[in-house]
Amino acid sequence: MANPTDKAILFDASKCTGCRACQVACKNWNQRTYTRTDNNGTYENPLELTSQCWMRILFNEPEKRPATDDELYWYFTKYQCMHCTDATCVKVCPSGATQKYKVSDGDSEAWLVKTDPKKCIGCNYCVATCPFQACRYDAAEKGIFRCIMCFDRITNEPDAFPTPEQAGLDMKNQPDPYPTRNRPACVQTCTTGALDFGTREEMLAKAEDRADYLKQNGSKNAQVYGLDQVGGLHYIYVLEDEPDKYGLPAKPTVPAGVHVWETLVKPGAPWGGLALVGLVAAAGAGYVINKRNEGMERKVQGGGD
Ligand code: SF4
Ligand code: SF4
Ligand code: SF4
């Protein structure tokens, strides 16, 4: 299970207005470029995660609108890598490129899933087996991309923040120019309070309180999501209804073959005599998996990125 002092992000769907400022902030901070898309009659944009778009806001339109005076109604969801405790992508990676990295700010820790492009062999096993379909391979950049929980921000990595001298500022007697530097870009940008960041324990407590409040105020199905899915997610959600209404799998499943692969085939596995078979399989399967994953998540083309 996840460590209570791990860092986590809280998304409160009941406070989200779908403005997508978080999506833009993610792109901006992580220096991702735009890609051309077409309007397909939805506000979602783009319609699936890409190597250039690591998170996006889903506009889930309910078949039956809850009792409300609003003409329009959506269940908004912030969708990205969930930084699973039992991360499938880490389990299946045959080259050790995708790993969990421990970062610490002194009081608490975060275990972030990241891929080292230098080690990635492009087999796409992580892409094929991720229970949230949340990582993407980029052939041009030769690497796997996903939300990295802004590790450079939350650890105050010096390169991420220019010194006052570099920024040409006279900082004598001035307040810290980056007072919220240790918050992820998406969290920092949200103006409605739908996003929060802290230890997983704190985020879960806040989520439970909010879900209780929503239950007492008309949302009888209000609930917390992320507590124990895939060993516990490092994104915690407050939902006003069942997860499937938000495009979230109630019980995200890890393909059965992952356990066989991890135990018998993966190089370095306990029964690693089959390691060579594993490498050949990894390389050979890449093309097939790439084809399978074309158009995963939401298959419709459209929107504008
Ligand atoms: S959501 Fe997918 S890519 Fe992210 S940690 Fe979990 S298995 Fe890996
Ligand atoms: S934590 Fe950082 S990388 Fe992840 S979605 Fe937010 S802005 Fe993007
Ligand atoms: S910035 Fe906040 S309100 Fe806007 S879409 Fe993101 S989570 Fe929702």
Which tokens in the block code for residue 7? 């860092």
Mutate to test the pocket of ligand 2, among 11, 26, 148 (most ligand atoms within 8 A of CB): 26
- Bridge partner residues of 138 (DSSP): 143
Residue with tokens 């007072």: 179
User: What pLDDT, on the 0 to 100 scale, is given for residue 260?
Assistant: 65
User: What pLDDT, on the 0 to 100 scale, is given for residue 283?
Assistant: 45
User: What pLDDT, on the 0 to 100 scale, is given for residue 156?
Assistant: 78
The response to whether residue 147 sits with its C-beta less than 6 Å from ligand 3 reads no
The response to whether residue 9 sits with its C-beta less than 6 Å from ligand 3 reads no
| CA neighbor of 112 nearest in space, from 159, 152, 166 | 152
Mutate to test the pocket of ligand 2, among 186, 188, 190, 234 (most ligand atoms within 8 A of CB): 186
User: Measured in angstroms, how far is the CA atom of residue 144 from the centroid of ligand 1?
Assistant: 11
Which tokens in the block code for residue 203? 């985020």
The response to whether residue 148 sits with its C-beta less than 6 Å from ligand 2 reads yes
Ligand 2 atom 7, closest CA? 26
Segment (H or E) for 200:
helix 200-216
Taking the C-alpha atoms of 283, 285, 287 and 288 in order, what is their torsion angle to the nearest 10 degrees?
180
Give the separation between CA 85 and CA 233, rounded to whole angstroms: 6
Give the separation between CA 242 and CA 262, rounded to whole angstroms: 32
Q: Which residues line ligand 1 (CB under 6 A)?
A: 81-84, 87-89, 113, 130, 132, 134-135, 146
CB 238 within 8 A of CB 13: yes
The response to whether residue 58 sits with its C-beta less than 6 Å from ligand 3 reads no
pTM for this predicted structure: 0.84
Mutate to test the pocket of ligand 1, among 83, 86, 91, 148 (most ligand atoms within 8 A of CB): 83
Give the separation between CA 78 and CA 289, rounded to whole angstroms: 26
Within 8 A by CB and 6+ apart from 244, the residues are 250
Ligand 1 atom 8, closest CA? 89
Give the separation between CA 31 and CA 29, rounded to whole angstroms: 6
Give the separation between CA 108 and CA 179, rounded to whole angstroms: 19
The response to whether residue 205 sits with its C-beta less than 6 Å from ligand 3 reads no
User: What pLDDT, on the 0 to 100 scale, is given for residue 120?
Assistant: 93
User: What pLDDT, on the 0 to 100 scale, is given for residue 41?
Assistant: 86
The response to whether residue 13 sits with its C-beta less than 6 Å from ligand 3 reads no
User: What pLDDT, on the 0 to 100 scale, is given for residue 253?
Assistant: 83
| Assigned CATH topology for domain 1-160+181-295 | Alpha-Beta Plaits (3.30.70)
Give the separation between CA 205 and CA 78, rounded to whole angstroms: 20
Cα of 13 vs its chain's centroid, Å: 15
For the chain, domain boundaries: 1-160+181-295
What are the distances in angstroms from CA 115 to CA 97, 98, 142, 198, 219?
Answer: 5, 4, 11, 23, 39
Q: Could you list the mean pLDDT of each consecutive 10-residue stretch along the chain, which spans 305 residues?
A: 88 97 96 90 92 96 74 91 95 92 72 87 93 94 92 82 68 69 92 95 97 94 96 96 95 76 62 49 47 44 46
DSSP three-state, residue 243: helix
For β-strands 195-199 and 223-225, DSSP reports them as unpaired
Kindly state the DSSP code that residue 261 receives in the 8-state scheme: I
Give the separation between CA 56 and CA 266, rounded to whole angstroms: 32
